[in-house]
Structure 1
Amino acid sequence: MMVMASSQQKAFPVGETLQSQVTPGVSSRYDFPLRPSSMALLIIDIQDELTKVDPTSEEYKHSIAFPRMIHNTERLLKSARLSKIQVIFTYLQALTDDCRDVSLDYKLSGDLSNLPGPSNPAKFLPGITPIDGEEICLPKTSCSVFQSTKLEYILRNLQVEQLLVVGQLTDQCVESAVRDAADLGFFVTVVDDACAANSADCHEKGLHGMKGFCRILNTEQVLQEISSYDIVNIDEQIIPSLPAAGHVNQKSASGADNTDHSITIPKPSQYVRDKDKGCETALLRSLRTAGVKFIRYTIVDAYNTIRCKAVPLNFLIERRVSRPMTSPTSIAEVCFAGLPTTMDVPKAPNLTASNVLTLEPDLSSLQILPYAPKTAMVMCTAHDQLTQDLSPLCTRGLLERVLQAAREEIGIEFCVGAEIEFMLYRLSKDGLMKPVDASTFANSTTLNDQEDFISSVYDQLRQQDISVELIHAESGPGQLEVVLSYSNNVLQIADNVLFAQETIRNVATHHGMKAVFLPKTSMLSAGNGLHLHFSFKDFGSPQNAFSDSSRPTGISRKGESFIEGLLDHLSSLLSFTLPTVNSYRRVGAGCWTGSSVDWSTEDKEVPVRVCVDLNTRKATNVEYKLADATANIYLELAMILSAGMEGLKSGKELRPMASPDAVAAPLPQSLQESLECLKLDNFLLSVLGPELSTAYIAVREYEATNEISLEKEVAAALGNA
């Protein structure tokens, strides 16, 4: 059974041993997250001789268990090497060619009596091969590595206190090693989906046998734990500081760039959700005790329509399955990318209602809704109902795959912040919905008049663990901006934008108002944007890798390449970040959004703005201004980050900063113009994939050619249509 890692794990002083922090009878294994400086990754028996499987054997073994173990072990090994974690390989190999030295148990176990030996040594797998002279290799001739090697002696010399264990077989060599390690005084973490057994029953049996001796986590939880170590006070917005010059383009004598700069986003069929397997029934019962009656299984379609189905809590509790929250409902695939925002009429030629996708909940996103306290909401990914593969139409899944590619291909992790703008309307004495005031930027009137509303929004966001950094009036009538705190959990910040918008809408209704997020509500006043901020850190490092005060721009070489990637794809990116006809009514010269493909430092008239810390005067992040709330937050983040990653991987050189004398290329002036740019952008189309790109372009073109007047759009948003 999988036990979820605590979100409130302690951060112990680096110089103290973990054992000294244990309070007998009070401390839990889950109080001690992985600490790279005191841990080792132990890879057990992942070798060529033991991973060859007979295709006629049980399908679980050759189609699921072994491929999953190999894939996730490769990911963990990359992370360990980046984080300078000691790696130890143990494998079956006798000390003699006739195997006379192997254990009695192995001599009585058929095939295990004939192990590789000195003349025919064990072979490792591509991608899971030790680095000579750096990583430790221990041949063993017994089930537990502690019985036939000096592993304990080595670990003591290395001052290792924590073992991260992967390998095979879950119910044999892994389990015996884990039990011995626990008895010898090591903190042990087993990676559920990086272990394998001959059958699903044997795998579960092994996990059950180990659960009293170790923590059991999945790969995603372990990677998050390792990468977030020593990063504290995220709510207080300590933005890391950064290093490292990147590589430059490798050009041939003719000047042509021959380097492969493509980004390999994992295919949907290769993506495996690391499922939380434990405690679901207990979670559901706790929700029922809290008064929750329904759980909304929620997705956001490609055009930013929130689609959800409410499942009664009692139905989930009464289900006779091991994971009661798994896939209780489905939605037709056409609803993910085939329907315009104004109607339920398919406009994508490649999608129909004949196929449905199951909704797989991400329990880390589950929230009880403060404005609807009888309901909890959980964000989902969409999966093929037969194969359970992630659907290529799933935008939340696309963002997860892009973030995975950033970690595994480029060795970076992103940090993101968001600024949400909206306008408040109230019914006036003449019976019309009008803005609550006509005040100006950063004025006190709006804050004074709307204090109760602002306080309610803040309280309800905090109840959902959504951290708010700043609230102020904006330039438009009745306009406010809520700034969400910068975070290195990009998927969570995307979820938080969605939850925050829903909270703002519902709190406004409770206060007798309407919150409107439209890009433009009047051509005579400012519009609503949703500005996004980006930086990144090298994987496993707490330091911000965007800035470098030694460089003329104050930006690191990597940071410059990231910005140039954005600029290279900016015209086609607008089809995702300014995805409606109304979006283009907000932007242009003099609108503080930018109107040309340009960048600068602290200049609010450019679309890509480098931000400087007020105290240190260092460049901290880059702001992307050409975005608004009509965009699907998961899709636009996936595309923006992919564009930046393409710049990073190719080591692009940043063009000169905007200046009065320079002439920059103009930006598209309409949605249709941006879509035409997208059609020519092979890189972004490859990130989208053929199914999603075909549907997305078709639906957006339909919307571009069937424009709704501004007056009708505002009336619909205010409920007057």
Structure 2
Amino acid sequence: EFYLLQPTPEGILPVDNSVFASTLAMDQHQQVIDHIAEALVEQGMPVEQYYPESGPGQQEISILYTQALPAADQQIAFRETVKAIAFQHHLVASFLPKILADQAGNGCHLHLSLWRDGKNLLLNPEGDGGLSQVACQFIAGILHHLPALMAVTTPSTNSYRRIRPHCWSGAFRCWGIDNREAAVRVPSNPDGNSPTNFELKTVDASSNPYLALGAVIAAGLDGIRNSLELGESVAVDPGHLTELERSQRGIELLPTTLGEAIGNLSADQILLDALGVELAQAYLAVKKAEWEAMKDFELEEEVELLLERY
């Protein structure tokens, strides 16, 4: 997800005032979107779907899945391509997680599946939600480490303005079938078969995709290694439950600031080991410095500083 914006005498503003899936927005921005899609395809990134998103000027483009390392490579190429082509059309493309206070934020939701010898290991029609035991353990590992993992997957102060209840951003530590308010969503399969992937919502494009993917995989493998149990699925919006109801179901609100997530990462030895001693020390030092420098920023100050960086 990203916003298309245009420089004006009043500042950098959205290119339109459209709504989700607006055909008018598709028509208005056909040239730039076609140009982006063609460039992605030329670089080996087939476009699976495109539509205008919920915010004014907001777009979503999804490319075909691939293995983890090439996916990280493609995420970098994707961002650079979108921003460069927008610039050629005298526009600004920004992946900053939260640009407008009262509009949708930009996520970079991560869809994963587990494979061995050409077989998708997620599938088990008899399992909870159609998931295999190894899939449940992998997801349990992600949820177990998620309060620390977010320092890597949502690593900017601005990230936490997007992750709020009732915003389809995964503000609660839980999972559910087709539940867009859960941090981990398992999409049901339209043909009735077992799901083929699951989605982690607490990811955005301010993250380093190599570190984010590596940390997510490390968390999931820890779940398999220690046979962690996946709690029951959640079918409702956790934000509509009382605190007591959430507590009884093991549902927790995830970190609401970068500072909180950094503190959790500092205490998570599994993720620190996955990063490696030198990288972990450097990463934490940089993120702590960013937090101290920006923790008191208003949204407008963050946008002024970060809009064109991301």
Q: Decide: shared fold, TM above 0.5.
A: yes
Residue by residue, what CA displacement relative to the aligned partner does 1:558-613 show, whole Å, maximum 9, x if unpaired? 10000000011010000001101000011111111122211101010111111122
> Does 2:124 match 1:548?
yes
Which of 262, 282, 292 aligns to 1:705? It is 292
Local SS of the residue matching 1:475 = coil
> Does 2:265 match 1:678?
yes
Amino acid in structure 2 at the alignment position of 1:424: L
Residue by residue, what CA displacement relative to the aligned partner does 1:200-245 show, whole Å, maximum 9, x if unpaired? xxxxxxxxxxxxxxxxxxxxxxxxxxxxxxxxxxxxxxxxxxxxxx
Amino acid in structure 1 at the alignment position of 2:223: G
8 Å contact kept, 1:612–1:621: no
8 Å contact kept, 1:579–1:671: yes
> Does 2:198 match 1:619?
no
Deviation at 1:713, TM superposition (A): 3.2
Which of 597, 607, 612 aligns to 2:183? It is 607
| Counterpart mapping for 1:324-343 below 5 A | none
- CA separation of 1:699 and 1:552: change in aligned 2, threshold 3 A: closer
| Counterpart mapping for 1:403-482 below 5 A | 421-428=1-8, 430-482=9-61
Amino acid in structure 2 at the alignment position of 1:452: Q
Deviation at 1:515, TM superposition (A): 0.2
CA distance in 1, matches of 2:78, 2:252: 35
8 Å contact kept, 2:50–2:59: yes
| Counterpart mapping for 1:640-719 below 5 A | 640-658=216-234, 660=241, 661-663=245-247, 664-707=251-294, 708-717=297-306
CA distance in 1, matches of 2:123, 2:65: 16
CA distance in 2, matches of 1:614, 1:443: 24
1:514 — aligned with what? 92
Local SS of the residue matching 2:93 = strand
Deviation at 1:717, TM superposition (A): 4.8
1:505 — aligned with what? 83
| Counterpart mapping for 1:120-269 below 5 A | none
CA distance in 2, matches of 1:716, 1:509: 18
Amino acid in structure 2 at the alignment position of 1:710: L
Which of 93, 97, 102 aligns to 1:524? It is 102
* TM-score (ref. length: structure 1): 0.40
8 Å contact kept, 1:516–1:717: no
CA distance in 2, matches of 1:615, 1:440: 30
- CA separation of 1:710 and 1:615: change in aligned 2, threshold 3 A: same
CA distance in 2, matches of 1:718, 1:521: 8
- CA separation of 1:717 and 1:667: change in aligned 2, threshold 3 A: closer
Residue by residue, what CA displacement relative to the aligned partner does 1:417-473 show, whole Å, maximum 9, x if unpaired? xxxx10001134x45321011111222122111000111001111111112111111
CA distance in 2, matches of 1:646, 1:719: 36
Residue identity over aligned pairs, in percent, reads 35
- CA separation of 1:666 and 1:719: change in aligned 2, threshold 3 A: closer
CA distance in 2, matches of 1:712, 1:521: 11
Local SS of the residue matching 1:612 = coil
Unaligned runs of 5+ in 1: 1-420
Unaligned runs of 5+ in 2: none
* Deviant stretches of 4+, over 6 Å: none
What is the number of equivalent residue pairs in this alignment? Answer: 296
Residue by residue, what CA displacement relative to the aligned partner does 1:94-152 show, whole Å, maximum 9, x if unpaired? xxxxxxxxxxxxxxxxxxxxxxxxxxxxxxxxxxxxxxxxxxxxxxxxxxxxxxxxxxx
CA distance in 2, matches of 1:644, 1:593: 20
2:74 — aligned with what? 496
Which structure is higher in RCO with an 8 Å CA cutoff and minimum separation 6?
2
Amino acid in structure 1 at the alignment position of 2:200: Y
CA distance in 2, matches of 1:617, 1:444: 32
Deviation at 1:555, TM superposition (A): 0.3
Local SS of the residue matching 2:64 = strand
Deviation at 1:692, TM superposition (A): 1.1
* TM-score (ref. length: structure 2): 0.91
Deviation at 1:616, TM superposition (A): 3.8
CA distance in 2, matches of 1:439, 1:423: 12
Local SS of the residue matching 1:547 = coil
After superposition, the CA RMSD in angstroms is 1.7
Compare CA radii of gyration and give the structure with the larger one.
1
CA distance in 2, matches of 1:442, 1:606: 23
CA distance in 2, matches of 1:520, 1:706: 18
